[in-house]
Amino acid sequence: MEEIAAFTSSLSKVSRRNYRYIVQSFLRDIGKDLNSLEKKDIDLWISNKEISRRTMKTYLYVLSRFFRYIERDDLSKHCRERAKEIRVSNPIPRVDDDLLKKVEELKERISDMGGERSAVIALLLSTGMRLSEVLSLRPKDIDLKRRMIRVMGKGGKERIVYMTSWCADILGNYIKEMKADDKIFRISARTVQRWVKELLGVSPHGIRHAFAVMYLARGGNIRALQKILGHSKLSTTEVYLDIARSLVEEDFRRTMERY
C-alpha cells in the first residue's frame, strides 16, 4: 500500500519493517479500507488481539503515528487515548549475580588499567549513571573535592550524582590536564560496551542495574536512589527492591549459617 510505504520511508530498516508489519496487521485483521475505518474498529482489534499489554501499547502508538500521517486525526487521537489506558508494570531488570559478588575484587583490576578505560568503567560502577550521560561529561561538571557530578539526564533534566573516593581518585588522575570545557571521553558507546563486556560480562546498563541493587542492599534509601538514577517515577526504582531484599537474605543466611 502506497500510504504505508510513504509513512515508513524515512525510518531505519528495522523500524520500517516493524511499523509496516503493525499497520498491515491491523488493516488485514479489520478488513476495511482506510476511508471507512472507525474508532470502534480499533476497539474491536484491541479486544481480539492476543498480545501483551506492553506490546499492544506499542502497536497503538505506531498506529497513532500512521493515522496522523494520513490525516485521520480522529483515529490517531483515539489510539493515543486507548494506549494511555493500558497499564503495564515495569519489567524486572536482570542483574548479574556474579558481578554483585565480585565488585570489590574487580575494583583493583579497573584501577590497574588506568587511562580512559579505567575512568569510564569506574564512573559507571560507582555512580549508576547511564552510558550516554557518562560520555557527555566535561571537567566543569565534576567537583572532585565534594565527589559530586552534575549530570544532564533524559529530557534535559539536570541532577547531581555522587561518586566514591575510589572513583574520584581514578577520575581525578585522568582529567587533571584537561580544560573545563573539554569532552572527557572521546570514544563511542560501542567501544565502552565492548570494554565492559570483556571485563564484567554485562552491558553498561547491566552495571546500572547492579549499582541500584547494591545501593538498596547496603541500606540505601529508595527515594534517594530515585534521584541518583534520574527516575521520574518512584515505581521505576521500586523494581529493584525485591532483588535487593533477596540479596540481603542470601547474604544473611550464608554469613550466619555457622552459628
| Residues carrying an active site annotation | 130, 154, 205, 208, 231, 240
Residues 6+ apart with CB under 8 A from 191: none
Name every residue whose Cβ is closer than 8 Å to that of residue 136 and which is 6 or more positions away in sequence: 152, 183
**Pairwise CA distance, residues 183 & 251, whole Å:** 41
Joined together, the cell numbers standing for residue 1 give 500500500
Per DSSP, 218 falls in state T
C-alpha dist (Å) from residue 200 to 162, 169, 186, 207, 238: 22, 21, 22, 9, 25
CA-CA distance, 150 to 81, in Å (whole number)?
A: 36
Q: Are 116 and 174 in contact (CB under 8 A)?
A: yes
Instruction: Check the CA dihedral 56-61-66-67 and report its sign.
Output: positive
